[in-house]
Structures are given as C-alpha cells and as structure tokens.
Chains A and B, each alone.
Chain A
Amino acid sequence: MKILVCIKQVLESGTDIKIDESGKWVHYSDSSRFEINPYDNYAIEEAILIKEKFEDAHIDVITVGPDRTADVLRRALGMGADEAIHIIDKTDGYRPPAVTASWISAYAKDKKYDLILTGIMSEDEMNAQTGPMIAQIMDLPCATATIRQNISEDKKSITIEREIEGGERDQFDITLPCVLTIQTGINSPRYPALSKVLRAKKKTFDIIQSETLDMPVHTPKLNDIILPIKEAQGLFIEGNIENKADQLLKILASRSLL
C-alpha cells in the first residue's frame, strides 16, 4: 500500500494580509509566518491511520513551492510520513492549480501509488482543484470531500463516504488506485512527535527542480489582487465597550427580540 499525500504551505491563519507593491500577490516579509494548509493535516492524519491498520503501508508527502516550503515536509515527517518529495518552484506567487497538479502527476505517474490524498482546498487560494485535476491527468477515479474511508482486506478497493449539501453522505466503492480529497472532521490530526521531528531534521528529501517539468497549455492568468470593496456594510456600533453593550440591548429591544 503506497500512499502519496499532497501538502501545501500557506500563511499562518490570522495573519494580517497585505498586498505587495506589484499588486499581483500577497506581501510576504521576513517576519511572515507560514504553516501547513490546515486542511492538509486531515489528509496526512488519514494516511497515518491507514498505515496503523496496514503495516506494509508507506507514506510519501509531496509539496510544490519555494525553498521555505520544505518546512511542511518536515512537519509531515514529524507526524509520521516516511519520505518527502520537494518540487522546488522558485517563483513565490500565484501558481495555477493546473500547474501544481500537472507537476505532481508527472512525479507520481510511474510510482504506482495506490492512494493519492489531498486536502479539500487550500486555505489561501481556495481553488479545490488540485486533487480532481491530478485524478484527471492520471486517469484515476476521484472522490472529493471524503469524510470516511475503509480499505478492503485485499487492498484492491476502498469504500468511501463523500459529503454533499446539508452534510448528507453518498457512499461509493472505488477500485484502487484512486485520488481522494479529504474533508475536515474525518479525524483529529495529531501533532508532530518530538522524536520524529528530530529524525526528520536529518532526513534528505527527493528534490525536483520545476524547470525540468512541463507547463500545461492553458491556465488562468492572475491580473491582480485587491482588497474587497466594502459595499453594503451594516451599522457599526461605536463607543466604549459598556456603551456598545447598551446600544446593542436597545437595538434588540426596539426590534422586540428580547
């Protein structure tokens, strides 16, 4: 059972987002802090749970991004992944999901993975495209928003539940290999273990330079990024905190809500 987990580095949640001088991307500074895309923790954890069940399972993690993004690979190794692959892309800005997907597929195509896992989406770009595109390129079945999985004893198929509107679940039987995008809540991701983190520090990654990989023909182009235009804001209650509390109660009372 060979598993590949795709992970991405994003700005730490809660970061004050600023636009850089070019107007084309988010401003990163020396003090910017990055973390693993929170959604990807669920994908790594699910791979580890599979490994705990099937002892022969082997987990590779892969990321596409500039040098600094190696941190997420170390973190994944600290959680329990076995090996890491870094596709180094020196451009540190917007990369369309079709590019990321085509590069990951180029790496994975002759590696005979039984299972490729991704997060449901990246917290920064919110595309929800990379996983389904990898599946399409590699001609593999794909389930998005996977909220439960169970691999058959003979390791030839997997039963999954995918989440749809309203939280209902549709169940599918899939012949392996396949791609799953993992929805939050499927598990409780563990924290990296110190002993594994120390070991990960010494580990070498399989490194691929992105220039050696082909670009897809068509990708969307980013013109620029802007702060949302604040069109229809409601009433902002001003004053000190006690004052605001009073005003709030008055509003509630005037609308007969209390």
Chain B
Amino acid sequence: MTQKIAIIAGHDGKKITTATWELFAFAQKLADSSNSGSDNTDICFYLIGENTREGAEEISFRSGCPVIAADVPGTRNYQGPIFKKTLLKLFSKNTFNYIIAPHNTSGMDYAPAISLGLGGTCMTAVEDVKEKEGSLLFLRSMYGGKIQARMEIDAPLAILTLAPGAFKPVQPEKNSTADVSHIIIDTPQAKMTYIGSLPSPSQGSNLAKAEVIVAGGRGIEEEENYQFIEQLADIFPRAATGASRPICDYGWVKYSQQVGATGTIVAPKLYIACGISGSTQHLEGIRDSRFIIAINSDPDAPILQVADVCIIEDLTEFIPIVVEAYKNRKRPAN
C-alpha cells in the first residue's frame, strides 16, 4: 500500500518559505519511519494563494515532487475562511494519510478546523517522529518545553503542524520536471471578510540590527527589576535591551523591545537571555544569534538547550555582581 503525504507549502511573495523545506525534511523522515508498513510514500505539495505558478514550478523543480497550485484571487494575505474552504475542497476527493503544515499563525488557524472537516485527527507543534514497535510516536512539547508528550495517531488521516526550527530545512536540487497542476478556485463567500492590514507595534525596532542584545523575561518578576537588564547592557560599548512577550503585555517595556515570532527576529553577535524560559515562540526570534548566554534560576529551563553558556543564578543577585566585577576590572590595578 502506498502512503500519501501532502505538504502545505508557503510562498512569501519573493521566495518559497523556509518552513516549506522544513516540512519536506519532516515528510522524508515520516516516510522513512513508517515504511515498514507500506511499500512506498508519495509526497505532494500544495501551494495556495495568489499567482502561485512560479512558486509551484520552483518547488517541483527542486523537490522532484508533484505540486498542486491553487490560485484563489484576492488572497495575498492569509484569510482563514477562504483558506479552510479551499483546503476542504482540495482534500475531500484526495485521500492522504498525512497533511502537514507549518505551525505558524496560519497553520494554527486552519489545521484544527480542517482536521474535523475531513474526518481526521489533529496534532499541533509536532517536533519529531520515531518508530516504536511498529507504530509511530509523534513528539510535541507541553508545559513550555518542560515535558514532551509522545502521541499516537489512530485515524486514517492526520493533520500535523510542524514546530518551526524542529527540522533543518532541506535544500533539494533535484532539477526535475515533476507535474505541476494549476487550478483556479473561486473566492468563496464568507461571513468573515478581510478589510486590511496594520503594521506591527514593533516595526522599526532597533533590535533587528543590534550586535549585542540583553533581554529580560518574566523572571525579572517586577517592573523595577528591568533596571538589571539595563545595567548589564551598559557594560557593553553598544547594546540594545530586549524582552520576552509577557513583560511587554504587562506594559513594563514597549512592544518595540519584544523578541520572538510575533515581535522582532534578531541576529546579534551576542544575545543574553535573563529570566527567559525559552518558549518556541521566543526561540524562533533568536535562532540566528551567533552566541547565546542564558541566566536562569532553573537548571531545567528549555533555554539552556540552545544557550552556548548557561548560568544558574537569580538574575537580581548575579547581574549586580557582574557589573561590579566589570568595573573593578576596568579600574587600573595598583
């Protein structure tokens, strides 16, 4: 029996999204893990949006897999109701074992809904898949990454969203000519209509270009304690101060300082995370940092999995000592 996997690809107007190639890597692992039960696996891409032709051709050329390009006029921005209806239409006749999509603000929106609409099951933010005694175990985080759940699927169809960064994007260069089918879908009537977009409150933040960033999270516990973050930043010739989302939500610092998936994506030479646990959404924003230092009171904090240097201390005690030691070093010895 042939197993079938559909990948919901993405195109950002200029190029195929990185998430698409992460999904391709995941699909290949999924195929390898489950091939004990089936003879082979067909992987197929779906690209949905406006002017999908070029993107679809690029995907098929590079991956060697067939692509179905569905043009839905007027959907340059993701529109939940239209996207969901389109997916239900595309998949109602086509039976897949897995439909995999990125765990981003769009995937999170349509995956649970279409899983019900197609009579399947849904699992979000999947990080890995492993074969165990003939069945597949899917790994996903719970409790902010402090627990991992190993899940099984007991349904003919599963819609999975893949956690960003969980798989290294593959860079296939098959240079092949797999099928590209092009379809145009009428924009369905919906009770929810797109009226426009607004810029992010973090637009123009200085963080995107900063070389050193010192960031504070909920571990600062009180608004006043953000001064410790500022003091630590002051020992560097030029450093910006950042934050995790919650302390922006509390109004302690401005949204322009928020680092992460829904804030600013940063790429400094040095990122110091103080009292930040390391949620996937925060990590998404710091993945391209060259060197990460974590100061955290919890030796099990997930941030320590990505940090180059880990310091287990209370930041309110540790930072003043660092600042003091720095000043003493600068003072000429006599």
Q: Bound complex: CA of A166 vs CA of B123, how far in Å?
A: 24
B271-291 interface bits toward A, Cβ cutoff 8 Å, 1 = contact, 0 = none: 000000000000000000001
Given A245-B318, A245-B321: A135 in contact with B113 (beta carbons within 8 A):
yes
Q: How far is the CA of A248 from the CA of B325 in the complex (A)?
A: 10
Inter-chain contact B310/A223, CB cutoff 8 Å: no
- Asked whether any CB of chain A lies closer than 8 Å to the CB of B249, the reply is yes
A192 within 8 A of B: no
- CB < 8 Å: which of A133, A144, A178, A221 contacts B191? A178
Tell me if B255 and A167 are in contact (CB < 8 A): yes
Residues in B whose Cβ lies below 8 Å from that of A165? 104-105, 261-262
Given known A237-B311, A244-B313, contact A221–B154 (CB-CB < 8 A):
yes
Q: Mark B133-151, 1 if CB is under 8 A from A, else 0.
A: 0000110111111111111
**Contact partner, A128, options B108, B143, B149, B203, Cβ 8 Å:** B108
User: Which of B104, B150, B191 lies in contact with A141, CB distance below 8 A?
Assistant: B191
Asked if B325 contacts A169 (CB within 8 A), the reply is no
B contact residues around A142 at 8 Å (CB): 80, 109, 113, 192
Contact check: which of A132, A174, A222, A245 meets B151 at CB < 8 Å? Answer: A222
B152 at the interface (CB under 8 A from A): yes
Kindly state whether residue B112 has any CB partner on chain A within 8 Å.
Answer: yes
Which of B146, B154, B191 lies in contact with A228, CB distance below 8 A? B146
Shortest C-beta distance, A165 to chain B (Å), equals: 6
Contact B309 A235 (CB under 8 A): yes
* Residue B116 lies at the interface, judged by CB distance under 8 Å to chain A: yes
Known: A172-B195, A234-B307. A257 touches B236 (CB 8 A): yes
Judge whether A169 and B151 touch: CB under 8 Å. no
Interchain CB contact (< 8 A) of B122 among A143, A162, A220, A231: A220
Q: How many residues of A contact B (CB 8 A)?
A: 77
Q: Find A97's partner among B112, B148, B262, B311 (CB 8 Å cutoff).
A: B112
Residues of B within 8 A of A174 (CB): 191-193
Which residues of chain B (142-186) have a CB below 8 Å from chain A? 142-155, 158
Interface of chain A residues 31 through 64 with chain B (CB within 8 A)? none
Q: Which residues of chain A come closer than 8 Å to B150, judged between CB atoms?
A: 222-226
Could you list 9 A-B pairs, sorted by A, with CB under 8 Å?
A142-B113, A166-B200, A167-B255, A167-B263, A184-B245, A185-B245, A216-B116, A244-B311, A258-B236
Q: Which of A125, A170, A216, A233 contacts B305 (CB 8 A)?
A: A233
User: Across the interface, which residues of B come within 8 angstroms of A164, CB to CB?
Assistant: 78, 105-106, 262
Q: In the bound complex, do residue B191 and residue A129 qualify as a contact, i.e. CB atoms below 8 Å apart?
A: no
Asked whether any CB of chain B lies closer than 8 Å to the CB of A194, the reply is no
B119 touches A144 (CB 8 A): no
Whether B123 and A220, one on each chain, are in contact in the complex, defined by CB atoms closer than 8 angstroms, is yes
Q: A234-B308, A249-B329 are in contact. Are A175 and B191 (CB under 8 A)?
A: yes
Q: How far is the CB of A162 from chain B (nearest CB, A)?
A: 8
Residues of A within 8 A of B (CB): 11, 17, 19, 26, 94, 97-98, 123-129, 132-133, 135-137, 141-145, 159, 161-175, 178, 184-185, 188, 216-228, 230-237, 241-242, 244-246, 248-249, 251-252, 255, 257-258
Cβ 8 A contact of B147, one of A227, A242, A257: A227
Which residues of chain A have C-beta atoms less than 8 A from B199's C-beta? 168-169
Give B98-137 as 1s and 0s: 1 = Cβ < 8 Å from A's Cβ atoms: 0000001110111111111101111111000000000001
Taking a contact as CB atoms closer than 8 A, the residue among B236, B325, B326 that contacts A242 in the complex is: B325
B152 touches A221 (CB 8 A): yes
- Given contact pairs A141-B191, A226-B150, A132 touches B109 in the complex (Cβ within 8 A): yes
A257 close to B321 (CB less than 8 A)? no
What are the 4 A-B residue pairs with the smallest beta carbon separation, nearest first? A167-B200, A218-B155, A185-B249, A129-B112
Q: Is the CB of B142 within 8 A of A225?
A: yes
Q: How far is the CA of A248 from the CA of B323 in the complex (A)?
A: 11
Please tell me if B248 contacts chain A, counting CB pairs below 8 Å. Answer: yes
Q: Would A143 and B249 be within 8 Å (CB), given that A137-B116, A167-B258 are in contact?
A: no
B224 within 8 Å of A (CB atoms): no
Are A166 and B113 in contact, with the CB atoms below 8 A? no
A144 touches B80 (CB 8 A): yes
Whether the pair A166, B305 counts as a contact (CB closer than 8 A) is no
Query: B105 and A144: CB pair below 8 A?
Result: yes
* Cβ contact within 8 Å between B148 and A171: no
CB distance from B19 to the nearest CB of A (A): 10
Whether A248 contacts B322 by the Cβ 8 Å rule is: yes
User: Once the chains bind, are B147 and A228 in contact (CB under 8 Å)?
Assistant: yes
**Contact indicator B198/A227 (Cβ below 8 Å):** no
Looking at A167, A184, A235, the one whose CB has the most chain B CB atoms below 10 A away is A167
A143 to B191, CA, bound (A): 11
Tell me if B90 counts as interface (CB < 8 A to partner A).
no
Q: A171 to B196, Cβ gap below 8 A?
A: yes
